[in-house]
Amino acid sequence: MRKCIFKTICISLLALIANACVDTSKDTIKDSPKERTTIKGKICDANGNNLTNVTIISGNNQATTDSLGHFNIDVDTLIGNRHVLRIQKDGYFDRIYSKMVSDTMNYPIQLIKKEPSKFVTLKKFNANEGVIIEVNGATVTIPESSLAKNDGSDYNGTVDISVVYLSPTESPAMEPLMPGADLMALAANGDTTPLISYGMINVEMTDETGDMLQLKNGCEALLKYPAPEGFTVHDTIPLWYFNEENGLWVEDGYSVKHGDEYVGSVKHFTWWNCDIKIENGARLRCRLINYPYNSVCICSAPDTISTSVVNETCTSNIFPNRPFYIAGVKMRSLEPGEFLDTTICVNRFVFQDINGNTLKSVKFKINDVLYYSNGENPIIVPIDKNEETTIRFQKYETKTITKDDFNSENVCVIVCKPLEKKNTSPSLISNVATESNKGSAQNATTKVNNEIDEEWDNNDTTVYEGSRLEINPLSENQSYYTSFIRENIKYPITCMNDGIQGRVFVEFIIEKDGNVSNVRVVNSVQLKVGSNQKVDNKSKDFELLEQEAVRVVKLFKGLQPGIKNGNIVRTKQLIPVTFKLN
């Protein structure tokens, strides 16, 4: 007999997951007076191309974008000065855009095209058979015979399903594409609260005539979110669905940490967000001038937040009453409910010797803040090139740089001249030798030199978790990990011929000099070819994939180590190495 429940193997897991029944009382904003205001904006696709003839709807008002993607519309605002727009264009997913009217749009609103991509999966399946769909590491499981039409009657025909997964750590940027725009949620008492997203999934299903389908009463679907790298690990994380009427997220159930995934069940489909709540949170908008990457980590120990950078600007909810670091700059604690709008100017440095060779493991200080360059890529330093900056090195002469030292790509190439070796003062050596009462001038010289180096080196041998540091090596080395593994991995021929694929989780320590140690496999999962379902009993030859993953990680060189209290420290890292066959 077919039943609208998951098979026995899932029951023990689902027993841990809260019921995802819909409580419509939580969807309503208390006493929601409406006001009229006018807003302007711009709409483009996920690649930044302007979209024309896009329809924008607010209540009874409607507008259309021009040839440059611009629009101008009168909107109704709810309590708290929030506006809600529905944005529609043929061939694209509908977008609900909601934000505080006072929070100026600092990037275009983007629409997701209905076509297969890294973060979109389209598929047909028979409603009587159910389906498991994977998109960019996330998984949606629809049980057999579990769907209903809008009138509540059973549906047993062909289903067109589209699944979107937005990751907080990968491209494309989450913020311009997600429903709403500021990750604000509605609490049970009617107050709003900010969230930090660990990933969000949207599922849309239609029948053969294009009418929308939903889960039948009493049926549940299973959602699996990959645990984002660099984020603080939680045993459980609440699930939130997006309410399209008020443009806020509503808490409904929770997910459970299971291996490298957060797993939860839902009883209806819309956008579902796996998020932690920030009590009395603050909000940050930061312009990062000259910042070259599309994401930035905000370190607010013990939590790390990764957020997108669009048009040199990032926005994020922030934990209150905690100092935090962004792009290597220490920021003050924010008060509950505070909004900080700030600017950080960064520039990139490359260090060379007098012969033009790139230097590695360069330690230097600017305004008594310690930095470390691994030599593989330009290091980002938060300075304004229009101001004169003095750089003090551990082993090289002090340099003062101005805007004339930067090239057209805002990179400053610094030629480092070694410090001249100086003889230690004989009187100082004598004093130290007498005090130590060990009689050796050589020993005394060593002691003096060690004292001089104390400001650069520390004896802390503790291994730290990256997410608890001012600078988390995971975010700094992410692109290196990806490109190095892609270029150096060698798929074992035996595994390739036998169709063996999967994911190997490798743990290692980044030493203070940027090299790695203690490389080991902590977990691994064999996956079926084509379906990405877990294989219960791994093949004997799967260990060849584990050995290859360890081999490649041991080759890592010149990594950015962690920084704690301005000092370089040993840091533990855990990364997945994926072996996948077409």
Report the candidate in 122, 120, 144, 96 with the shortest Cα–Cα distance to residue 270: 96
Please report whether residue 332 resides in a domain: yes
Q: Report CA torsion sign: 490, 495, 501, 502.
A: negative
Task: Compute CA distances 204 → 212, 376, 388, whole Å.
Answer: 8, 44, 55
240 contacts 18 by C-beta, under 8 angstroms: no
- The DSSP symbol for 74 reads E
Q: What is the helix (H) or strand (E) element at residue 64, kind and residue range?
A: strand 61-64
Please report whether residue 73 resides in a domain: yes
When pLDDT is cut at 50, 70 and 90, the band that residue 474 belongs to is: confident
When pLDDT is cut at 50, 70 and 90, the band that residue 545 belongs to is: very high
- What is the rounded average pLDDT of the residues 432-451? 36
Q: What contacts 532, CB < 8 A, 6 or more positions away?
A: 134, 139
Q: Which amino acid is at 374?
A: N
Helix, coil or strand: residue 457: coil
Q: Are both 197 and 287 inside the same structural domain?
A: no
Q: How many CA atoms lie within 13 A of 476 on its CB side?
A: 32
pLDDT of residue 7 exceeding 50: no
When pLDDT is cut at 50, 70 and 90, the band that residue 129 belongs to is: very high
**Among 36-40, 402-406, 426-430, which stretch is predicted with the lowest mean pLDDT?**
426-430
pLDDT (tens digit per residue) in 257-303: 988 899 999 999 999 999 988 877 888 888 888 887 777 878 776 66
Report the candidate in 485, 479, 475, 467 with the shortest Cα–Cα distance to residue 571: 467
Report the candidate in 575, 545, 550 with the shortest Cα–Cα distance to residue 481: 575
Question: 161 versus 356: which is more confidently predicted?
Answer: 161
| Residue 461 pLDDT | 77
Q: Are both 186 and 225 inside the same structural domain?
A: yes
Cα–Cα distance, 29 to 187 (Å, whole number): 10
Q: Are both 500 and 485 inside the same structural domain?
A: yes
Name beta bridge partners: 306. 297
Please report whether residue 1 resides in a domain: no
Cα–Cα distance, 214 to 237 (Å, whole number): 24
Token pair 């939860």 in the structure block, residue: 264
Percent of the chain scoring above 90 in pLDDT: 28
β-pairing verdict for 109-111 and 35-45: parallel
Write the CATH number for 377: 2.60.40
Q: Are both 13 and 159 inside the same structural domain?
A: yes
When pLDDT is cut at 50, 70 and 90, the band that residue 186 belongs to is: confident
pLDDT (tens digit per residue) in 32-64: 455 677 888 889 888 888 999 999 998 888 999
Question: 246 versus 306: which is more confidently predicted?
Answer: 246
| Residue 471 pLDDT | 67
371 contacts 363 by C-beta, under 8 angstroms: yes
Cα–Cα distance, 394 to 457 (Å, whole number): 10
Cα–Cα distance, 78 to 180 (Å, whole number): 14
Write the CATH number for 144: 2.60.220
- What is the rounded average pLDDT of the residues 487-497? 91
Burial classification of residue 248, based on how many CB atoms lie within 10 Å of its CB (0-12 exposed, 13-18 middle, 19 or more buried): buried
Percent of the chain scoring above 70 in pLDDT: 79
Residue range(s) defining the domain that contains residue 302: 282-345
Supply the DSSP string of 188-232, one letter for each residue: TTS-EEEEEEEEEEEEEEE-TTS-B-EEPTT--EEEEEEPPTTSP
Question: 561 versus 370: which is more confidently predicted?
Answer: 561
- What is the rounded average pLDDT of the residues 429-451? 36
Report the candidate in 39, 87, 363, 72 with the shortest Cα–Cα distance to residue 244: 87
Q: Are both 198 and 107 inside the same structural domain?
A: no
Name beta bridge partners: 237. 255
pLDDT of residue 499 exceeding 70: yes
Question: How far from the centroid of its chain's Cα atoms is residue 275's Cα?
Answer: 13
Q: Are both 101 and 240 inside the same structural domain?
A: no
Question: 327 versus 10: which is more confidently predicted?
Answer: 327
When pLDDT is cut at 50, 70 and 90, the band that residue 457 belongs to is: low
Report the candidate in 300, 308, 239 with the shortest Cα–Cα distance to residue 270: 239
Q: What is the CA radius of gyration of the chain?
A: 27
Q: What is the helix (H) or strand (E) element at residue 21, kind and residue range?
A: none
Please report whether residue 563 resides in a domain: yes
Q: Are both 133 and 255 inside the same structural domain?
A: yes
| Residue 16 pLDDT | 32
Write the CATH number for 87: 2.60.40.1120
| Residue 122 pLDDT | 94
Question: 468 versus 479: which is more confidently predicted?
Answer: 479
Cα–Cα distance, 418 to 499 (Å, whole number): 55
Q: Which of 242, 277, 312 is the last residue of a domain?
A: 277
The CA-based angle 542-545-551, given to 5 degrees, is 145
Helix, coil or strand: residue 61: strand
Task: Compute CA distances 230 → 119, 234, 296, 314, 426, whole Å.
Answer: 20, 12, 12, 18, 51
Q: Are both 391 and 366 inside the same structural domain?
A: yes
- What is the rounded average pLDDT of the residues 463-477? 70
Question: 136 versus 280: which is more confidently predicted?
Answer: 136
Please report whether residue 3 resides in a domain: no
Q: Are both 236 and 146 inside the same structural domain?
A: yes
- What is the rounded average pLDDT of the residues 132-138? 90
When pLDDT is cut at 50, 70 and 90, the band that residue 428 belongs to is: very low
Please report whether residue 2 resides in a domain: no
Please report whether residue 371 resides in a domain: yes
- What is the rounded average pLDDT of the residues 436-450? 35
| Residue 444 pLDDT | 34
Cα–Cα distance, 169 to 271 (Å, whole number): 18
19-23, 160-164, 347-351, 521-525 — which one is most confidently predicted on average? 160-164
Alpha-carbon dihedral angle through residues 127, 130, 132, 138, given to the nearest 10 degrees = 70
Token pair 């980044």 in the structure block, residue: 510
- What is the rounded average pLDDT of the residues 150-178? 85
| Residue 478 pLDDT | 77
| Residue 132 pLDDT | 92
Record the pTM. Answer: 0.58
When pLDDT is cut at 50, 70 and 90, the band that residue 3 belongs to is: very low
Structure tokens at 136: 């960019």
Cα–Cα distance, 401 to 409 (Å, whole number): 16
| Residue 469 pLDDT | 66
Helix, coil or strand: residue 167: coil
Domains identified in the chain, total number = 6
158-162, 183-187, 371-375 — which one is most confidently predicted on average? 158-162
Q: Return the number of other C-beta atoms located less than 10 Å from residue 360's C-beta.
A: 14
Structure tokens at 222: 């299973």
Report the candidate in 89, 53, 90, 56 with the shortest Cα–Cα distance to residue 68: 53
Q: Are both 238 and 216 inside the same structural domain?
A: yes
Report the candidate in 481, 465, 561, 569 with the shortest Cα–Cα distance to residue 514: 561
Q: Which of 221, 252, 277 is the last residue of a domain?
A: 277
In whole numbers, what is the pLDDT of the chain averaged over residues? Answer: 79
- What is the rounded average pLDDT of the residues 146-173? 88
Cα–Cα distance, 464 to 262 (Å, whole number): 24
Q: Which amino acid is at 364?
A: F
Q: Are both 372 and 447 inside the same structural domain?
A: no
Q: Are both 356 and 265 inside the same structural domain?
A: no
pLDDT (tens digit per residue) in 63-73: 999 999 999 98
- The DSSP symbol for 1 reads -
Please report whether residue 138 resides in a domain: yes
| Residue 525 pLDDT | 87
pLDDT of residue 447 exceeding 50: no
Token pair 């029948």 in the structure block, residue: 207
